A and B are shown apart, each in its own frame.
Chain A
Amino acid sequence: MRLRRFGALLLSAAALSSLAACGGGSDSYASVVEKAEKTKKLTIGVKFDQPALGLKKPDGSVEGFDVDVAKYVAKQLGVDESNISWKETISKNREPFIQQGQVDLVVATYSILPERKEKVGFGGPYILAHQDTMVRGNETSISKVEDLKGKRICQASGSNSYKRITDPPPNGRSIEAQLVPAGSYGECVERLKGGTLDAVTTDNLILAGFASQGGDFKILGVPFTDEKYGIGMKKGDTSTCNKVNEAITKMYQDGTATQLLQKWFGAAKGLEFPTTPPQFEPCS
């Protein structure tokens, strides 16, 4: 059989690719709580490019409000912060990452929305953010949301904040702004600085994080939505959801929440910090 050798080659290639496909799979546990108890380890998805919320530092560590909340919740689940492996979740891959089990929890400026709840479950919310608008410091023609008509606003990849402006009610406000696409909010801020767009509109916590980096920006301070930041997990993981909610309640009761908010957003003007947890969503 002349072709035996090629057949063998083909087979070995197939074996190789299936081998590649086998690496890295994780054992399945009934719930994240169970995994945390048994392995004392968690994989948590956070943002890596959002100052003051989830940011990867040059030394490889991650920091920010979301990161600290994640650490606190993990501790309540019995996982030490050194046993957390941080994984980057970008806006677009949060649901797939939870569904595919690439991460156990997601704490990444993750608003609880009905369409998201069809795919994943949420604990919390742990904080309410509100959509606000940031403009250049010398901007005089924009002082309220309605002024965005005809202006160029940023459409960051994977984020739907712009829809609250441009979509018809009840979703948005039917304001005819021009959309400028960008890869991330960092890019949005760079473009705002450069003048290729006029306003960045998204959650005030995100904006406050960028504003704290310096640069001549001002946040209008006219919030107009409630963004319930939740902790994402697999759909139907009720026990984890309950446990996460307990942790959040405790975080507010022992003052950690206020302290963390002060630490990360204390410098930002016009933000009010709650001392009690937001109304939790039902856990089923």
Chain B
Amino acid sequence: MNALISNLDSVLASFWATIRLTVVSAIFALILGTILATMRVAPTPVFRLAGTVYVNTLRNTPLTLVLLFCSLGISNVLKLNFSDDPSVNGYWFAVLGLSAYTSAFVCESLRAGIGTVSLGQAEAARAIGLTFVQSLRLIILPQAFRSVIGPLGSVLIALTKNTTVVIVAGYAEAAYLMSEMIYEGSGTVPIFLGFALGFIVLTLPTGFFFSWLSKRMAVVR
């Protein structure tokens, strides 16, 4: 316990890194996931195919490998980098890997959400002359989002926990610090419980908030 208290600053800093990674990746994943979902229901087969291939690839690859590939493949081979400062660069590659991976799950949730929108809504949208993009933007997606708030919440919680995997990219967040502290030999059980508590504090309220929100925003049929 002492180790946790005497290192409270760095423990809190590591959780702050976790939060920063989660929030920024969540925003990008939501945007990318929406685009992907649109592609997967689009009238143009090429986009549908591209969306399908992307989602199936990312969903079926371990996140560990996705993150390794981002940093090795994109940064090192393609030589596309965000910044010359390695720590900034590492952070953005972690964000890139996490949001690329999570967006596949956002896309799938959203697509399920599109499935729950009642048929009359889409037919009415077409009847008043809206194009595909317009009907999606104005009629379908707003309702789809409201019906998948719960699943999106689960995706967000999964993302929060997945940030621990960026350990392989060497970006220091909570799990990294935990393994360092256990390695330093400052006790196992209290450190584990302390860090577990940190994650519970992050994920449980998120879960409650999203289930409350999904009830509140549920589409009445």
A residues in contact (CB < 8 Å) with B: 92, 95-96, 119, 152, 155, 157, 178-183, 187, 190-191, 194-197
How far, in Å, is B182 (CB) from chain A's closest CB? Answer: 9
In the complex, are the beta carbons of A92 and B86 less than 8 A apart? no
How far, in Å, is B21 (CB) from chain A's closest CB? Answer: 15
In the complex, are the beta carbons of B171 and A190 less than 8 A apart? no
Q: B68 — which chain A residues lie within 8 A by C-beta?
A: 183
- 7 CB-based A-B contacts, threshold 8 Å: A92-B179, A92-B183, A95-B183, A180-B86, A181-B171, A194-B76, A194-B77
In the complex, are the beta carbons of B170 and A181 less than 8 A apart? yes
How far, in Å, is A46 (CB) from chain B's closest CB? Answer: 20
CA A181 – CA B167 in complex, angstroms? Answer: 10
Question: How many residues of B sit at the interface, in one of the four size bands?
Answer: 10 to 19
Q: B169 — which chain A residues lie within 8 A by C-beta?
A: 181
Q: A187 — which chain B residues lie within 8 A by C-beta?
A: 72
B residues in contact (CB < 8 Å) with A: 68, 72, 75-77, 79, 81, 85-87, 90, 168-171, 179, 183, 185
Q: B72 — which chain A residues lie within 8 A by C-beta?
A: 187, 190-191
Q: With A119-B185, A194-B79 in contact, do A183 and B170 touch (Cβ < 8 Å)? A: yes
Contact of B76 among A155, A178, A190 (CB under 8 A): A190
CA A181 – CA B85 in complex, angstroms? Answer: 12
CA A190 – CA B170 in complex, angstroms? Answer: 16
How far, in Å, is B42 (CB) from chain A's closest CB? Answer: 36
In the complex, are the beta carbons of B86 and A179 less than 8 A apart? yes
CA A122 – CA B57 in complex, angstroms? Answer: 47
Q: B85 — which chain A residues lie within 8 A by C-beta?
A: 178
Q: B79 — which chain A residues lie within 8 A by C-beta?
A: 194-196
Contact of B86 among A95, A157, A178, A190 (CB under 8 A): A178
CA A29 – CA B117 in complex, angstroms? Answer: 68
In the complex, are the beta carbons of A155 and B81 less than 8 A apart? no
In the complex, are the beta carbons of B170 and A152 less than 8 A apart? no
Q: Chain B residue with minimal CB distance to A96?
A: B183
Q: With A92-B183, A119-B185, A178-B86 in contact, do A196 and B170 touch (Cβ < 8 Å)? A: no
Q: A180 — which chain B residues lie within 8 A by C-beta?
A: 86, 90, 170
How far, in Å, is B128 (CB) from chain A's closest CB? Answer: 53
In the complex, are the beta carbons of B170 and A157 less than 8 A apart? yes
In the complex, are the beta carbons of A182 and B170 less than 8 A apart? yes
How far, in Å, is A171 (CB) from chain B's closest CB? Answer: 16
CA A49 – CA B174 in complex, angstroms? Answer: 27
Q: A181 — which chain B residues lie within 8 A by C-beta?
A: 86, 90, 169-171
Quick one: which of B76, B79, B85, B168 has the most chain A CB within 10 A?
B76
Q: Chain B residue with minimal CB distance to A153?
A: B86
In the complex, are the beta carbons of B75 and A155 less than 8 A apart? no
Quick one: which of B68, B75, B86, B169 has the most chain A CB within 10 A?
B86
How far, in Å, is A202 (CB) from chain B's closest CB? Answer: 16
Q: B179 — which chain A residues lie within 8 A by C-beta?
A: 92
In the complex, are the beta carbons of B168 and A183 less than 8 A apart? yes
Q: Chain B residue with minimal CB distance to A187?
A: B72
CA A92 – CA B183 in complex, angstroms? Answer: 8
Quick one: which of A95, A178, A181, A195 has the most chain B CB within 10 A?
A181
